[in-house]
Amino acid sequence: MPMPIHLPADDEAHPHDQADPDEGTHPHDQDAPSGRGRGRRGNRRKRARRSVRVLRWTSGVLGVSLVVGAAGGYAYYQHLNKNIQHGALNTSTVTVAKPKANAAGQKPINILILGTDSRSSAADCKLGGACGDTGYGHADVEMLLHVSADRSNATVLSIPRDTKVSIPACKDSTGTKSYAASYDIITDSMEHGGAGCTVGTWEKLTGISIDHYITVDFSGVVQMADAVGGVPVCTKENVQDTDGSHLKLKAGTTTIKGVQALEWLRTRHAFEDGTDIGRTHAQHLYLNSLIRKLKSANTIANPLKVDALAEAATKALTVSNEIASISKLAALAVDINKVPTKNITMTTMPFSYIASDPAHVQPTSEAYKLFSMIRNDTSLTSTSTSKTASASAAASASAAKEAAASASASASAAAAAVDKSKVDLAVRNGGTVDGRGTAITKYLNGKGFSKATVDTTDVTATATTLTYPSGQKAEAQAVASALGLQSAELKGSSTATKLTLVIGTDWSTGTDYAKTLPKSGTVPSTTVSQNAADSSQCMTVNPAKNSYGKYIYIW
């Protein structure tokens, strides 16, 4: 068995690196009173424990977390690095505003996790049926992992593969082949040059800035499910998916691994209403169960499992260029691992079936509220500071709050000093509600912004944004204050010539944007969500019957 490895530092720090507040001292790490050897051993143990918590990430199609062990050789480190395939992050024409840092200088992390049905390899071909696929395949599983700026909570948002969306113009990862913009199901976005186009499609739909992507194929699911020793899942009835994934399980809890894990994650018709919605819920159940298992000391501490998982995972991964090394993935994983299991929420995009095309779905107005919550780093889980939190954490939180209050006061003072009657502002309606541009313009006129005018430029936008030219930040803050816009909605531009407010689909009513957003700990009413700490989750099997009155999927 290859020895576990010490991870060498990269030439530059990972953009999300943070100090680990949970880093403590084990009782056995104290220096021996009579010699230096005990201290060295203690330091080695500390380094080993720090490294053993590396490379954890989550995937919808896999629900996989990776753990690369601590100690070993540089050659093995390089071997694992060479296993990882990578490509450009965003190959589309879409650009969205990056999230701003909080008062403590932290930023949220957004990772798009994709399960692809590409059958370009022999292993994938054997598992997936149709062979000879030399293209990019489809992104049949699409999940966004959002980790909050303060690392206190995380949200996993699934968009069903059959969601109709606007796919932007894209290029392939080499930049040599172009693909025209289209309106199609989101799974087909990967066919337009790879994962980089799927990233652009998500950004266009949600307005959320994506930092990284990770994709895994069929054979990767099988290898990694074996490497972790299987994952417990539950069904309320006996289930069989004869014509689909071929999953067959008895009612109750079963630990699945290998091909059976792939069957679970691919099953669509046998769960709930027989659509892709039920499949996303089954994937969330698998992922939640895996997170609970990988959080246990027994799994993490087993070097045999750690080594096997690192080998399997790096062979199965394709990632965006900026995280294409073991050490960068490890640094990212350390941040993700800080989130308590009870503060991880899995959710599926609120949707409605398209009346003229009932095989496909579309996002609802509540979906856009959910996108806004993620853009504004609003937790779906109610998180509160524990009474037993350390004094240093409390002090940091207090300092951050004071800094935020100070920044807010400064912004308010700057906004108050602005002569509203001289602010030249164009208001565009990028949403679906007629008259919104006129209504907001009249409201601003009544608030003293007499030069605010309706701009009839044809534009479609998910996210509400206020773009301002260099040197006009104070004017933008004055407008934002009048409308309840948050910092995530403000976007500075070196090419803009005047302030431009684009009213997105996420703001369909009212004149105070902030009041339309759900508060922390709440989710839009039609959103189906699951908490990672809930071990009672169990899937309902599709109760459909054939013409003879017999169950199709229950046996």
Phi, psi of 477 (to 5 degrees): -65, -35
Rounded Cα distance, 244 and 313, in Å: 26
**Interacting residues of 429 by C-beta distance below 8 A, sequence separation 6+:** 435, 436, 437, 438, 459, 503
Position 227 in a domain = yes
The pLDDT tens digits of the residues spanning 81-122 come to 888 889 999 999 998 888 888 889 999 999 999 988 654 555
The pLDDT tens digits of the residues spanning 53-81 come to 333 333 333 333 333 333 446 787 788 88
Q: Are residues 99 and 150 in the same domain?
A: yes
Position 76 in a domain = no
Match 């409201």 to its residue by tokens. Answer: 443
Q: What is the pLDDT of residue 73?
A: 62
DSSP state letter for 551: B
Give the pTM.
Answer: 0.75
Q: Are residues 103 and 165 in the same domain?
A: yes
Rounded Cα distance, 143 and 158, in Å: 4
Question: What SS3 state is found at 312?
Answer: helix
Q: Are residues 444 and 369 in the same domain?
A: no
Tell me the CATH number at 458.
3.30.70.2390
Residue 138 has a CB neighbour count (10 Å cut-off) of: 22
Q: Are residues 349 and 463 in the same domain?
A: no
Position 123 in a domain = yes
Query: Considering only CA atoms, which of 159, 123, 155, 126 is closest in space to residue 140?
Result: 159
Q: Are residues 282 and 140 in the same domain?
A: yes
Q: Are residues 164 and 268 in the same domain?
A: yes
Query: Considering only CA atoms, which of 56, 47, 1 is closest in space to residue 331?
Result: 56
Domain span at 159 = 86-301+341-379
CA distances from 503 to 201, 436, 482, 487 (A): 20, 8, 14, 15
Residues found in the chain: 555
**Interacting residues of 331 by C-beta distance below 8 A, sequence separation 6+:** 13, 14, 16, 17
Position 290 in a domain = yes
Position 38 in a domain = no
Q: Are residues 296 and 418 in the same domain?
A: no
Rounded Cα distance, 149 and 135, in Å: 37
> By CB neighbour count within 10 A (0-12 exposed, 13-18 middle, 19+ buried), where does 310 fall?
buried
Position 510 in a domain = yes
Q: Are residues 218 and 288 in the same domain?
A: yes
DSSP state letter for 343: G
Q: Are residues 285 and 371 in the same domain?
A: yes
Position 404 in a domain = no
H helical segments located in 258-357: 258-266, 276-294, 297-301, 303-316, 326-337
The most distant pair of C-alpha atoms in the chain lies apart, rounded to whole Å, by 82
**Interacting residues of 339 by C-beta distance below 8 A, sequence separation 6+:** 147, 148, 151, 152, 153, 154
Of the CA atoms within 13 Å of residue 94, those in its CB half-sphere come to: 30
Match 């629900």 to its residue by tokens. Answer: 63
Q: What is the pLDDT of residue 403?
A: 45
Looking at the 3D structure of the chain, how many domains does it have?
2
Phi, psi of 123 (to 5 degrees): -65, -45
Rounded Cα distance, 234 and 256, in Å: 10
Query: Considering only CA atoms, which of 531, 533, 538 is closest in space to residue 232?
Result: 538
Digit-by-digit pLDDT tens for the chain (555 residues) are: 444 333 334 334 444 544 433 333 333 344 444 444 445 445 544 443 433 333 333 333 333 333 333 344 678 778 888 888 899 999 999 988 888 888 899 999 999 999 886 545 555 455 454 455 546 778 888 999 999 999 999 999 999 999 999 999 999 988 899 999 999 999 999 999 999 999 999 999 999 999 999 998 776 777 777 777 889 999 999 999 998 889 999 999 999 998 898 899 889 899 999 988 999 999 999 989 988 887 775 555 555 566 777 777 788 788 999 999 988 988 888 888 889 999 999 999 999 999 999 989 999 988 988 998 999 899 988 765 444 334 434 444 444 445 444 445 555 566 668 999 999 999 999 998 999 999 999 999 999 999 999 999 999 888 899 999 989 999 999 999 999 998 888 888 889 999 999 999 889 999 999 888 778 887 777 778 899 999 999 999 999 999 999 999 999
Q: What is the pLDDT of residue 227?
A: 76
Q: What is the pLDDT of residue 387?
A: 41
Q: Are residues 119 and 248 in the same domain?
A: yes
Q: What is the pLDDT of residue 121?
A: 52
Rounded Cα distance, 190 and 182, in Å: 13
CA distances from 345 to 144, 173, 285, 399, 464 (A): 12, 32, 11, 28, 25
Spell 144-157 as b/e; 16+ CB within 10 A means b.
Answer: bbbbbbbbbbbbbb
